[in-house]
């Protein structure tokens, strides 16, 4: 009974979380930080968001070690490579520190990995948009940042599986052998652009490009403009106003998909605090503000155990799609978050 009483007496003011993003100075992560800081302000705990000077897994692992030594209560990481973080997360857990992932849905040594969308639904939605635009006929290619990018590959897996089950006349131009059925563009817009031009030469039936990284959309938009393929070659995939807004407005590309980074940061803070207090969120719960209202997209969360035994929490309705009709709303929303995109 004594331990129960002690748990009940935990005070939010005594809780401190550090969140280590992929790299410092990236606006997307600055918005996540703003969401985490808002949760900290709302509930009265301490939060710090940091990142290595460049996207480097070894530097992230070293930062985890540094914060273990400082004895914080919780450490979150958006990993460049989950495998590099597992051993230091285990070390943190052994020291009594809670660990959290974001975009690390294979993590084992975590209290929770937090996903802004359900990855299967996200990949299927991207494919469905392509089927809608093409009428389910023709051919496509689909990019990943790296062949090791966990979330990117989950989206492609789900999208290709949906196509195979529902649209036999819409074919993956790269074939269906796992690994070579997608192309890697190393999160580099120039490489993505050159590969798209190459695919257009090689595959006369190519009429749609899907992109998992944010760099493929603007690359496709540029290629479509250069080759005068508007209406003949389409694009759907991850995209923000800043990456594809002008191409959406000119009907050059079709749709961008994303989740709200501000709400991810808020969800991370809330989940970590509640778990530390002995009240971890459960499947079907909501991520709440102090007034009892749910944050957008997290009205009903999903909690699943992954193949490695880690808990994965996903926003039940966190997926957002922008097209020509609503892109202006999101220009405004990101400006309100402190990240003007035009």
3-state secondary structure 113-181: EEECCCHHHHHHHHHHHHHHHHCCCEEEEEEECCCCCHHHHHHHHHHHHHHHHHCCCEEECCCCCCCCC
The helix (run of H) or strand (run of E) holding residue 189 is: helix 189-202
Same domain? 19 vs 81: yes
Q: Are strands 112-115 and 320-322 parallel, antiparallel or unpaired?
A: unpaired
Same domain? 133 vs 253: yes
Same domain? 107 vs 221: no
Q: Is 54 exposed, middle or buried (0-12, 13-18, 19+ CB in 10 A)?
A: exposed
Residue 164 tokens, joined: 């195979």
Q: Which domain holds residue 178?
A: 119-258
Q: What is the pLDDT of residue 8?
A: 58
Q: What is the pLDDT of residue 2?
A: 43
Same domain? 43 vs 98: yes
Buried b (16+ CB within 10 A) or exposed e, 108-128: bbbbbbbbbbbbbbbbbbbbb
Same domain? 192 vs 247: yes
Q: Which candidate, 73, 79, 59, 146, places its Cα nearest to that of 111? A: 73
Q: Which residues contact 281 (CB under 8 A, 6 or more apart)?
A: 112, 270, 271, 274, 275, 287, 301, 303, 313
How many structural domains comprise the chain? Answer: 2
Alpha carbons within 13 angstroms on the beta-carbon side of residue 169 total 6
Q: What is the pLDDT of residue 210?
A: 99
CATH classification of the domain holding 181:
3.40.50.2300
DSSP state of 294: B
pTM of the complete model: 0.89
Mean pLDDT for each consecutive 10-residue tract of the chain (342 residues)? 56 98 92 98 99 94 99 97 96 99 96 96 98 99 92 96 99 98 96 99 99 97 99 98 98 98 98 98 98 98 97 97 98 94 91
- Within-domain flag for 232: yes
- Within-domain flag for 266: yes
CA distance 160 to 182: 10
Same domain? 140 vs 251: yes
Same domain? 113 vs 129: no
Same domain? 177 vs 202: yes
Q: What is the pLDDT of residue 3?
A: 47
Q: What is the pLDDT of residue 148?
A: 82
Q: What is the pLDDT of residue 72?
A: 98
Q: What is the pLDDT of residue 247?
A: 99
Same domain? 246 vs 140: yes
Q: What is the pLDDT of residue 55?
A: 87
Q: Are strands 16-20 and 46-50 parallel, antiparallel or unpaired?
A: parallel
Same domain? 132 vs 244: yes
CA distance 230 to 99: 46
Same domain? 80 vs 165: no
Residue after which a domain boundary falls, among 224, 242, 258: 258
């Amino acid at each position: 009974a004594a331990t129960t009483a002690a748990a009940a007496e935990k005070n939010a003011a005594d809780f401190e979380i550090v969140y280590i993003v992929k790299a410092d100075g990236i606006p997307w992560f600055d918005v996540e930080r703003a969401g985490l800081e808002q949760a900290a302000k709302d509930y009265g705990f301490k939060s710090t968001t940091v990142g290595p000077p460049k996207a480097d897994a070894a530097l992230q692992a070293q930062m985890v070690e540094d914060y273990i030594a400082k004895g914080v209560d919780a450490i979150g990481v958006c990993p460049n490579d989950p495998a590099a973080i597992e051993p230091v997360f285990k070390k943190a857990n052994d020291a009594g520190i809670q660990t959290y992932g974001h975009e690390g849905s294979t993590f084992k040594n975590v209290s929770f990995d937090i996903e802004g969308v359900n990855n299967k639904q996200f990949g299927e939605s991207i494919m469905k948009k392509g089927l809608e635009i093409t009428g389910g006929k023709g051919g496509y290619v689909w990019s990943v940042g790296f062949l090791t990018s966990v979330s990117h590959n989950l989206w492609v897996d789900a999208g290709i599986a949906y196509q195979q089950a529902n649209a036999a006349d819409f074919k993956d131009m790269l074939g269906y052998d796992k690994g070579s059925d997608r192309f890697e563009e190393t999160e580099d817009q120039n490489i993505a652009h050159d590969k798209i031009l190459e695919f257009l030469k090689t595959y006369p039936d190519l009429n749609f490009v899907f992109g998992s990284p944010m760099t493929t959309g603007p690359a496709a938009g540029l290629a479509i403009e250069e080759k005068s393929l508007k209406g003949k070659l389409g694009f759907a995939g991850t995209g923000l106003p800043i990456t594809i807004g002008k191409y959406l407005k000119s009907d050059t590309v079709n749709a961008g998909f994303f989740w709200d980074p501000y709400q991810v940061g808020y969800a991370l803070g809330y989940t970590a605090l509640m778990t530390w207090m002995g009240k971890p969120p459960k499947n079907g719960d909501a991520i709440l503000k102090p007034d009892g209202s749910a944050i957008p997209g997290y009205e009903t969360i999903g909690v699943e155990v992954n193949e490695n035994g880690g808990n994965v929490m996903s926003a039940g309705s966190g997926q957002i799609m922008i097209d020509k009709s609503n892109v202006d709303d999101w220009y405004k929303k990101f400006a309100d978050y402190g990240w003007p995109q035009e």
